[in-house]
């Protein structure tokens, strides 16, 4: 069975600084998707970034980028120029052949003004 591990329950970063959230996963599949979702206090899940496993190039979305290491099964999220609105719970997630999304336990990110 696939698993997703986020080892940082909470993190803090100064506004305008850069922060990296860690995620590792385990799977025997070769083709899959990885995601980072943001969940603000409203509880609405917001897709931050998506990575297809077959793509070697790391996905980027404006201030958000990932470091995808397929062999190491690692998928970290880097947030540059952190803003107050980035404060939220961040979930790393995996989607395999069965289309089910498996979530990590999440990392609560605090932005310090």
Question: Applying CB under 8 A, which residues contact another protein?
Answer: 37, 42-45, 91, 95, 99-106
| Nearest distance, CB of residue 43 and another protein, angstroms | 5
Whether 25 contacts 75, CB under 8 Å: yes
Which is nearer to another protein, 80 or 102 (by Cβ)?
A: 102
Q: Which is nearer to another protein, 7 or 18 (CB)?
A: 7
Q: How far is the CB of 45 from another protein (least distance, A)?
A: 4
For the record, the structure tokens of 36 come out as 């980072």
Q: What is the nearest approach in angstroms of another protein to the Cβ of residue 104?
A: 7
Q: Is residue 102 exposed (0-12), middle (13-18) or buried (19+ Cβ within 10 Å)?
A: middle
CB of 16 to another protein, least distance (A): 28
- What does the block give as tokens for 34? 């990885």
Nearer of residues 45 and 78 to another protein, judged by Cβ:
45
């Amino acid at each position: 069975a696939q698993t997703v591990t986020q080892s940082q329950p909470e993190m803090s970063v100064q506004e305008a600084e850069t922060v990296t959230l860690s995620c590792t996963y385990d799977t025997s599949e070769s083709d899959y998707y990885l995601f980072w979702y943001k969940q603000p206090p409203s509880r609405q899940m917001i897709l931050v970034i998506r990575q297809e496993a077959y793509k070697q190039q790391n996905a980027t979305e404006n201030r958000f980028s990932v470091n995808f290491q397929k062999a190491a099964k690692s998928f970290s999220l880097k947030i540059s120029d952190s803003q107050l609105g980035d404060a939220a719970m961040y979930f790393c997630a995996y989607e395999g052949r069965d289309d089910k999304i498996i979530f990590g336990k999440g990392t609560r990110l605090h932005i310090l003004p």
